[in-house]
Structure 1
Amino acid sequence: MNEHSEPTTGTAEPLAGPAQMDPATEAFVTHRNLLFTVAYEMLGSAADAEDVLQETWLRWMTVDLTQVHDQRAYLVRITTRRSLDRLRTMKRRKEAYVGPWLPEPLLTTPDVAENLELAESVSMALMLVLETLSPTERAVFVLREVFDVGYDEIATTLSKTPAAVRQIAHRARRHVQDRRPREAISPSQARAALESLQYALETRDLQGLLDVLAPDVVLISDGGGVKQAAPRPITGAEKAARFIVGGLGKAQVTLTGDPTVVNGNPALVLRVNGEIDGVIAIQVEDARIIGLYYVRNPRKLTRIAAETPLTLR
């Protein structure tokens, strides 16, 4: 059965308890974390991913389950198509966005950090690379490289031939590989770099920052026009360090950094006088930080109070 087949009627929200669930609701709830992960990796926005899940649920409630051979695959197909539609509309929003745009950070469960494949796929660094792909390339890359969906299924989802999907996958894979970190970093190495960053920030130690930052580090800050942020990425350790320390020095405030795990990777929740100011995620290479991603836009900080479960299966 194709996702664009004529629907039958269906209603209700997936809120019933386990004993009350009908088969359609049970299937949706079973795969909900997977569907959210697919939508989030496609969009980089938890709020938009939740909207996609609502649209997926409404579409799923119209489906004749007797015609569905693989419920998981069918749900992923709906979610991907809805995400593609939303990704294209998000492009206009991002073009009007004030300053650099960063993905919405998620406080993630411990199992996400333990799954290196999942942790890398939702890392701020890789999510930014995915932003440079076309919507179709992003869909193919996410489905194939992250969720190991077969070429035939992706072709059905995107209404393309398997041969075309293979070409798109090859192009997207090469694009991502050219821009992803050159070597894998262990969680302990990332935490060590984060601890050095935390100490340097809290003590306003310019030299300490220079010591932990790579010479070609890139700092991206996202204020969304609501909070002050650099209008464009800052490249170079000295420029990045002086921007950070200079900004802190202008205000007589107490700055603290709380180590946490965001998008499966070590990060800091920065607080100014006890109030959350933002989340700073890092990308580490050769024991030094090569990427600083500082999200200050309050609208993007709603997912750091409670853990968001993510999964590849």
Structure 2
Amino acid sequence: MPETRHDPLLEIADDLYALPLADFTPARDALAKEHKADKELAAAVRGLRKASVAAWVVNLLVRRDPDQVDQVLAVGVALRDAQDNLDAAQLKEFTKQRRQLTASVTTTARRMAREEGVKTTQTVADQVEATLTAAMLEPDAAKAVRSGLLVTAISATGLGDLDLGGAVAVPEALGFSATARPAAPPDPARRPQLHVVPDPDADKKARAAADARVAEARAALGEAEKEHRSTRRAVEKLRARTLQLQAEIDELRARMAELEAEVEEVDDELDEAQALQEEAQEAVDAATDEVDAARAARERL
């Protein structure tokens, strides 16, 4: 249930971030002019940032299907409780459920975006899923998601190191709940009559579409190659570290072998020294007995 809205900026933001992505900027600028009598509010409206595609998809999901979002957040609360109580069985089950749920909800969100005419790439989908995961791991991230006022995607480790300073449209968004806005059912009466009309520019449009597809594929290739280079550097770094550690292990093993040999030598010397000590003790005892006998003889004289 959305909370009662008293802050005019939050009310304006709630409406703005519910708009199609392409409509945001002109609507924001128009609202800033509309409220120009209140300079502070107009400046605040003008400062609202356009959401990234991933943030817009999450905001759309929150408004289209708040119940499903609440389910995601409820599982997150249960997961955090399991972590706090160190219940390994529950933790394992909730972690599995979290991954399944975020993947499923991300698929739903992508479908909603597609229905709004926005195609989401796999990169955007990953950001959406990361944001949902963050909402399950961090209470403040959950509040940010539920606000429906995200401007960027969120990622979290669950270690309490999350910074939401630039993730929401306004700081007051945390604790605010977006107004549910279910998709309007299609109106058959308003459905346009479709007629097949030859398009004289069909070939030109097809070439443009093909060029756009090539450009998109090249961009995806560039991202993939960049990621590959990054992962390759990470692998090379880890391999070098492995070789370094193995060399240290070999050095320690060699040193251990030297020390073990030295221990054996010292043990042999110790045995010899103990034998000599026993012989010396016997000589001391014999000399002591001789001294005692000599003293006794002298005393008799």
Q: TM-score, normalised by structure 1?
A: 0.24
Query: When you count strand as a share of all residues, which structure comes out higher?
Result: 1
* Larger Rg computed on CA atoms: 2
Q: TM-score, normalised by structure 2?
A: 0.25
